A and B are shown apart, each in its own frame.
Chain A
């Protein structure tokens, strides 16, 4: 069965799209170009968000408010949170790798809706620029990334409204992406490719996209109501006009807890792609992995109120959300055991990609353990809204998702460019990041337990030393970006040629040239029924036809 284009379109596909580096600034419809647009754009915002984090850590290396003025500090922490979540992690783990890899994995030549795809990306730069410029015009939002009313109603309106508009645009982009992924995975699969033969990242993206499509509209609706409260003086969430501030929290967390899974489920998927390749073993427990992703999706939708244990919630609600949240540890635990079992007995190449993936496992396990603890109401009432929580979620989103993003860049850079990254610089980057990260965030658990609330510019002087240790860790993290950036820039131009498949991988994106041609494959798309079929044959012959040749009808 053939899914190639009619000959009239096949003649010179290059003329349909801009070529050269300029295409990365164009409204390109090529999923690979869009994927890299997401990645580069996300990384630029990551650098900005990182600078803001640096400003926060400088402020916190002394117990008094001395580096930034108090309202600027609140703007900085609001921008840091918003940028890192909505402009870096969500677009990169979903948009960048999703767009690049999903069409390969399903055996398609592009996403289901290429134009919608390009629109989804091009919503991001204006939204991000708007958010950042608001700081220079009237001051950015200063009510935190959660924008709880009444604080968000009473702080300067201009910054808050820009924040809402920006998050609405980013939410729209996310929904467009989600619809596109669901359609591509379910409807654009190469004939003969069954759902249970898809690489794990497809399942992760399917689950994530379901969460995106179900929960992001709730956030959009909530923020529109909030903007009415701000500009039209309605009273949805304004207590002086009879509104209810707790309702906002319910609506907000109905999106924003699933948002955590929108940030980590794709990362789970990416790790599931990277580990088998470098351990030379099949992904352990494929079926349980699929079910645990879907379990996380279902449970992830019914745990939001664990963010509200101190908000004055009734006892039955606290109990329900404690139990539901604790049980997310079961499917998540399965995945971690399966990854370790994937490593067990392998022939592991100790390269930067696998080091970052294993760093992710270790960090995320700690974040998960503190997460189960935080789900217990009696535990949470002490540490809620403290640095313990700050430490916990940075272990999830930085120790988890960001480590996986780095791992994925080391793994797929040869695919993107046809060049290898420098391994020594990569290992140096890993060591510096891992030490810096743990030095920065591990001590914050202690700070929270002992009385330091989050989002403060000043604190009890007894916490000075530990905060300085944390700030030193942040400095190492900042420095660790330099070898990485140098490696990327240098290797893009002068890196060693990688060949088409430097890792001898079996998934479909490697069964074509690196970088791939415009429509992914010359000729027919390969039918990869066993994406993790390592260990079966002594000598691998990865070419577009050799894998599963007998089943290729």
Chain B
């Protein structure tokens, strides 16, 4: 028979698991969803969160239960049971983590592919004539958009990002615009080629769930499709010097018309439209 402690422990664990699943649905654990990448990310996050919660609560409950139930009571002497091993049990708890890890690995591979991680990254180099040389090897970042496959047939916006201590500069080759803020139209695929002028920086927009280091001497690419209008922070996520914490900018996701208006207002060659 189960002791009352055991029943309490089980009840409490069940309550915590259910509470955790409820909290997952009702509390804000992650920031807003603002790119086509973010909902896929959140799907992965939820699965990992649930598996993790079950494992953590389960292990904690086992430890707490053992400490309470098997504690040495007043006046007890002698040792515990002399069990040294149990092969079936050990095979079981080798197999269980292996299966969980295998599932997590395959699932996250699927997520990675849906995010476009396995696509060969390329950037339309015809426009990046002055900033970067195209003969360098370009290493890709994760991202759900690419030049070849734009899901909604909207033109891909090419942007070149230059990072330096302690600012981001965005260059739009089509309009020869240089801006301190990133303006992008809703629903378009953005292909951003990034290089640093001094030390390593990183481009991170929490609402996009995307991050890519911006490296000196080593261009990188980040593709994304914004899906929600708004202003979101761009954060440098790689220690880059004293003002690292202040190295921030803003990405403005706007309706295509607003973007077009901004673009035309700032573009040097207005005949080259989006």
B15 within 8 A of A: no
Q: Are B59 and A340 in contact (CB under 8 A)?
A: yes
Contacts of A365 in B (CB 8 A): 55-56, 59-60
Q: Check A330/B98 contact, CB under 8 A, given A65-B245, A74-B242, A148-B239.
A: yes
Judge whether B80 and A330 touch: CB under 8 Å. no
Known A-B contacts A154-B198, A347-B70; A336 and B237 likewise in contact (beta carbons under 8 Å): no
Provided the pairs A239-B216, A319-B109 are in contact, do residues A345 and B83 lie with their beta carbons within 8 angstroms?
A: yes
Q: B18 interface residue, CB < 8 Å from A? A: no
Tell me, in angstroms, the Cα distance from A533 to B84 when the chains sit together.
9
- Complex CA distance for A318 and B112, rounded to whole angstroms: 10
Give the chain B neighbours of A310 by CB distance below 8 A.
141, 202, 211-213, 237
**Contact between B70 and A284 (Cβ–Cβ < 8 Å)?**
no
Give CA–CA (A350, B70) in the complex, Å: 10
Which A236-250 residues have a C-beta within 8 angstroms of B? 239-240, 242-246
Cβ of A467 < 8 Å from any Cβ of B?
Answer: no
Q: Which of B1-9, B37-45, B152-160, B167-175 contacts A (4 or more CB under 8 A)?
A: B37-45
Question: Which of B71-79, B126-134, B181-189, B256-264 participates in binding chain A?
Answer: B71-79
Whether A378 and B240, one on each chain, are in contact in the complex, defined by CB atoms closer than 8 angstroms, is no
Question: Quick one: given A343-B67, A378-B115, are A350 and B84 in contact (CB under 8 Å)?
Answer: no
Judging by beta carbons under 8 Å apart, are A366 and B218 in contact? no
Instruction: Digitize A176-197: 1 where CB-to-B-CB distance is under 8 Å, 0 elsewhere.
Output: 0000000000000000000000
Given contacts A347-B78, A535-B80, contact A285 B140 (CB under 8 A): no
Asked if residues B81 and A377 are in contact (CB atoms below 8 Å), the reply is no
Interface size on A, as a range, is: 35 or more
* A242, B104: Cα distance in complex, Å: 40
Q: A71 on the interface (CB 8 Å rule)? A: yes
Judge if A386 is at the interface, Cβ distance under 8 Å: yes
User: Which B residues are CB-close (under 8 A) to A319?
Assistant: 109, 112
CB distance from A396 to the nearest CB of B (A): 14
A373 and B139 alpha carbons, distance in the complex (Å): 24
Q: Which of A404-412, A425-433, A444-452 contacts B (4 or more CB under 8 A)?
A: A444-452
For B56, the chain A residues whose CB sits under 8 A away are: 365-366, 369
**B93 and A334 contacting across the interface, CB-CB below 8 Å:** yes
Q: Are B66 and A330 touching (Cβ within 8 A)?
A: no
CB neighbours (8 Å) of A218 from chain B are: none
Query: A151–B240 contact, CB under 8 A?
Result: yes
Whether B105 sits at the interface, judged by CB under 8 Å, is yes
Q: Whole-angstrom distance from the CB of A514 to the nearest CB of chain B?
A: 21
Give which listed residue, B41, B96, B239, contacts A378 with CB less than 8 A: B41
**CB distance A379 to B108 under 8 Å?**
yes
Cβ of A451 and Cβ of B235 under 8 Å apart? yes
Task: Give the complex CA separation of A257 and B117 in angstroms.
Answer: 24
Within residues 231 to 258 of chain B, which ones have a CB less than 8 A from any CB in chain A?
233, 235-246
| Residue of chain A at shortest CB distance from B115 | A378
A450 to B174, CA, bound (A): 34
Give Cα A455–Cα B240 distance, bound, in whole angstroms. Answer: 10
Q: Is A224 an interface residue (CB 8 A)?
A: no
Chain A residue numbers with a CB within 8 Å of B41 are 378-379, 382
Provide the residues of chain B in CB contact with A85, threshold 8 Å: none
| Distance between Cα atoms of A282 and B83 in the complex (Å) | 7
Residues of chain A in range 189-221 having any CB-CB distance to chain B below 8 Å? none
Chain A CB within 8 A of B271 CB:
no
CA of A312 to CA of B60, assembled, Å: 38
List of A residues within 8 angstroms of B241 by Cβ: 74, 142, 151, 154-155
Closest 10 pairs (CB-CB, A-B)? A239-B217, A535-B82, A456-B245, A333-B97, A346-B80, A312-B139, A70-B242, A451-B206, A376-B108, A280-B79
Given contact pairs A319-B109, A378-B40, A535-B80, a sample of 6 additional A-B residue pairs in the complex whose CB atoms are under 8 Å apart: A74-B244, A288-B94, A343-B70, A378-B112, A449-B29, A451-B235
Q: List 21 A-B contacts (CB under 8 A).
A: A151-B241, A242-B217, A244-B218, A284-B85, A310-B141, A310-B212, A310-B213, A315-B118, A318-B112, A319-B112, A334-B93, A340-B66, A344-B70, A345-B70, A365-B55, A372-B48, A372-B101, A376-B111, A379-B108, A385-B211, A458-B246
